[in-house]
Amino acid sequence: MNATTRDQEAALWTDANSCLLNYGTKFNPDIIVRAHDIFVYTASGRKILDWTSGQMSCLIGHGHPEIVETIREHAANLDHLFSGMLSPPVIKLAKALTDVLPSGLDRALFLSTGGESNEAAIRLAKLYTGKFEIVAASSSWHGMTAAAVGAQYLSGRAGYGPNMPGNHPLPAPNAYRSVFRHADGTHDWRTELDYGWSLVDAASCGSLAAVILEPIQSSGGMHCLPPGYLKAMKVHCDARGMLLIIDEAQTALGRAGDMFAFEHEGVVPDILTLSKTLGNGLPLSAVVTSHEVERVCRERNFLFYTTHVSDPLPAAVGLKVLEIVQRDGLVARSRVAGARLHAGLRRLQSRYGCIGDVRGRGLMAGIEIVADRATKRPAPELGSRISDKMVEFGLSANLATISSFTGVFRIAPPITITDEQLDAGLAIMEEAFNAVEGSQPLYLPV
């Protein structure tokens, strides 16, 4: 990096430190000046593999040429409209999305963010059922709007006064750390779930409206729901006259190896929310529900009227993302590449004792860093040093800074990733683990 570049970067940091309001994270030390394909580029001239797809959003990579052209065309000709006006991209995306979804997910609404879509879904559930209590997993993350943050327990609840009333947590299924165990040591998720519901029933005032759930708890540490869990949850919902809301912000459109992650168990939710992957990094989210829920809520004057509802430009991008995923066979590609990724991560686990667990599905993976495999004692500081070394060597793989993550790398590269790019990233990870003291090598490097 030459002196001019250093001076420019220093000036940017001076301005950032003087005028940006911190929003709950420690900023990355690199200022990013460009993003393309699976890489981001720093002001200092470094090229870094992006294994989190931006904020888990760039499903088909940064700067995809067809996405760029779609944005250019609609920025010039059909960008934003009065919220009551419809446009071809909105109608076509609703038709394409509901066509690829199973019966029962028939009506779509398009908004901007994941939190906004979950807010709308919760309002729909409350209006439809006439009840107000919402149940969610204890490690959930659903957004920063009022009802969404009220239904999340990972972080963000303390210090702001009363949360939305009527929210209840269920123990999040964590096969690695749960205290609920069968005699053979395996995770007894069914007893855990039933016990959680007994507590919810005891706390409820008799107005249980909906459960909101992520198929893979990404912010909660990349935990997949155990096989059979989603079906059992639907039984609990039906027994109480509740709706099931599935939040697929990160898992939809092939990321987890199925077009939609709920399809992995064949359970159709009453309401589905999409965001992140649908817009490939642009602010686009969706709420999809049944004809019946839509009819009842329309008759009861459902209101979720925002400035950017049914915006044509992001809808056109969502339509193009869906087209590319289907046309290019990217769901199948995610399964194949995911198998390669997980095999590589398990190989790392066999070589470094600090890797306590490897989990995930498709091109979503979590690596939990521990100080001791026997006690499973978390080692977030070690994880932080490994993360810094990865970035130094050219790979960005998110290590959550929230303490409740306990030091878990969340990995979710674009599903367009090549085998060569996968292998390059795994090699950088190996190099970083090998270079950091305390990683507990289990073999002698050649």
Catalytic residues: 141, 214, 247, 250, 276, 410
Could you give the angle at the alpha carbon of 384 between the alpha carbons of 380 and 388, nearest 5°? Answer: 170
**Dihedral (CA of 231, 232, 238, 244) sign:** negative
Nearest to 390 by CA among 369, 364, 359, 362: 369
Which residue has 């642009």 as its token pair? 282
Sequence-distant (6+) residues with CB within 8 A of 270 are 104, 125, 210, 243, 244, 245, 289, 290, 293
Q: Nearest-5° angle of CA 185, CA 187, CA 191?
A: 115
* Whether the Cβ atoms of residue 52 and residue 410 lie closer than 8 Å to each other: yes
Q: Do residues 217 and 172 make contact, with C-beta atoms less than 8 angstroms apart?
A: yes
Q: Which amino acid is at 184?
A: D
Residue 148 CB neighbours (<10 A): 29
Q: For residue 286, which of 329, 319, 262 has the smallest C-alpha distance? A: 319
d(CA 191, CA 324): 42
**Cα–Cα dist 299/302, whole Å:** 8
Structure tokens given for 110: 């398009």
Closest CA to 121 of 99, 105, 138, 102: 105
- The Cα diameter of the chain in Å comes to 70
